Structure 1
Amino acid sequence: MVTTEFGLILAGLFLVALLYSSVGHGGGSGYLAILSLTSYGTMEVGWLKQYAWCLNLIVAGIAFWHYSKAGHHMRGMTVPLVGASVPFALIGGYLKVDGALYDTLLSVTLIWAAWRLLLIKRDFVGVDIGPPDLREALPVGGAIGLASGVIGVGGGIFLSPVILLRRWATPKAAAATAAAFIWLNSAAGLAGAGLSGQLQIEMEVLGFFGIAVLFGGLAGSRYGADVAPQILVRNLLVVVLLVAASRRVLSVLGL
């Protein structure tokens, strides 16, 4: 029997997938926020991370398909970033890091990224952009991959702002790369959890969660890739960053 709380969780997961997929993200940080505010919040961090990764696989996969189909994928940018990130995401999946200091630093980072993105006034038409060289891409990909594995997200909340602030791509091209990045990092995180004996997924629960994010991801990524203008995708990304930051702030405050 589906309880009222479970129904609200499904609605929340749907909305998170709808918003995050519009900018090419899987929604991992949002799923963690939703689950942490319910009775599932009493579960171990490792349990929550695994569900976030699984849902990321669904939504980021859909987002990548839509953005790639619309012609926004830049393979030359994606390959080095992903190639550097996956091994470190696998390592991060082994690790467990908790603490208010970590949440505080992460919140400050996300808020700073949102503020910097808001300072970009361009519509991204005619902007001089270009993919990073290996000296830039490899350390960025590796660092974000490690952070992704540790906290249980795909890394899009870190990668997308970096791509835009460094002028490596337009918002929609950044979304395509972020989606591929998130999918592979989430898979690596799950692999790391499995290899360390931490994998504990209830398929019935995952099935309900998966259906909710599937519909949200289909609608959100379709809108972001084919309908929304570049500047709106940028603004949606700012909202996503602030939502992710607020979750960490609430965690620090014990709310």
Structure 2
Amino acid sequence: MELVPPTLVLFCATLAFVAVLYASVGQAGASGFVAVMALFGFAPEVIKPTALVLNVLVSSVVALRFGRAGYFSWPVLRPFLIASIPTACLGGYLTLPAGVFNLVLGVLLLAAGLPFFMRKTGHEPHVVPLPCIPAVLAGGVIGLLSGLTGMGGGVLLAPLLLYCNWTSIRTAAAVSAVFIFVNSAMALLGHLTIAGQLPAELSWFALAAVLGGAIGAQLGNRHLPVGIIYRVLGAILMIAGLKLVWV
């Protein structure tokens, strides 16, 4: 699928907007990128590798920002990575039939979007110790799903960390960003070992996403209303999820 210039401009602007919103809350934006590509009618074999490439680029920017601020915690990330690295690579290697891909991705987008409407912003949880075995198992499942669909797993990991009170909000953002980077890179590696269809306009997509991610990572948490950001992200995810499930 090759975009005509007006559509390309609109698509890149939408990618940048999504990247700003996601980066402002510590995410790389894969689920948003996937949602936008689904709404623009991209094919599944293009959506997956493109989302992974953009996710690797944007997550590196977000991870650097939160890491420099001192929020990253290796002890929190480590158990999730143990199983997620091989399963993300496996998921990237596997290719689902188009109908199954749309259904799985649609359900995941709906599941990822709902917490954005339900969670309360501005409240730091009372942190409890992280149990190792459940974290390893959860990491394996999230890694596999991220590899299969092209989502980095951050929109699944961050709500889990916060729902279970395993870390603070900012640490969840920092951990999720690094988790996204590693799993997206592994999934992309697995996908490229078979065959990958990347769009000819990928360089423009990457530029828009990285610029948006840099802006969001620098300014988001300080200058944008977090509550509104969460609602907008939730709406994007759920609209795309409904489109994939029912269309």
Do both share a fold (TM > 0.5)?
A: yes
Counterpart in the other structure of 1:15: 17
Please, what is the CA RMSD of the aligned residues? 2.4
Counterpart in the other structure of 2:48: 49
SS in 2 for 1:247: helix
Q: Any residues of structure 2 matched to 1:53-202 within 5 Å, and which?
A: 53-97=52-96, 98-99=99-100, 101-103=103-105, 105-118=107-120, 123-124=123-124, 127-195=125-193, 197-202=194-199
2:247 is the counterpart of 1:250:
no
Cα 1:242–1:168, aligned 2, differ >3 Å: closer, same or farther? farther
Whether the 8 Å CA contact 1:23–1:224 is kept in 2: the answer is yes
Identity fraction in percent = 31
SS in 1 for 2:13: helix
Question: What residue identity is the alignment partner of 2:64?
Answer: W
Whether the 8 Å CA contact 2:110–2:241 is kept in 1: the answer is no
**Structure 2: distance between partners of 1:74 and 1:228:** 25
CA offsets 1:60-100 (integer angstroms, 9 cap, x no match): 11000111111111111012212321111111112233436
Shift of 1:104: 5.4
Counterpart in the other structure of 2:204: 208
Whether the 8 Å CA contact 2:107–2:241 is kept in 1: the answer is no
**Number of aligned residues:** 242
CA offsets 1:125-154 (integer angstroms, 9 cap, x no match): xx4214513112101111100110111110
Question: What residue identity is the alignment partner of 1:215?
Answer: L
* Structure 2 stretches lacking a partner, 5+ long: none
State TM-score, norm by structure 2: 0.87
CA offsets 1:23-60 (integer angstroms, 9 cap, x no match): 2211112112222333xx253x1221111111111111
SS in 1 for 2:167: coil
**Structure 1: distance between partners of 2:177 and 2:105:** 24
Whether the 8 Å CA contact 2:117–2:230 is kept in 1: the answer is no
Counterpart in the other structure of 2:214: 218
Cα 1:95–1:241, aligned 2, differ >3 Å: closer, same or farther? farther
**Structure 2: distance between partners of 1:201 and 1:104:** 21
State TM-score, norm by structure 1: 0.85
Shift of 1:169: 1.3
Whether the 8 Å CA contact 1:157–1:241 is kept in 2: the answer is no
Shift of 1:115: 4.9
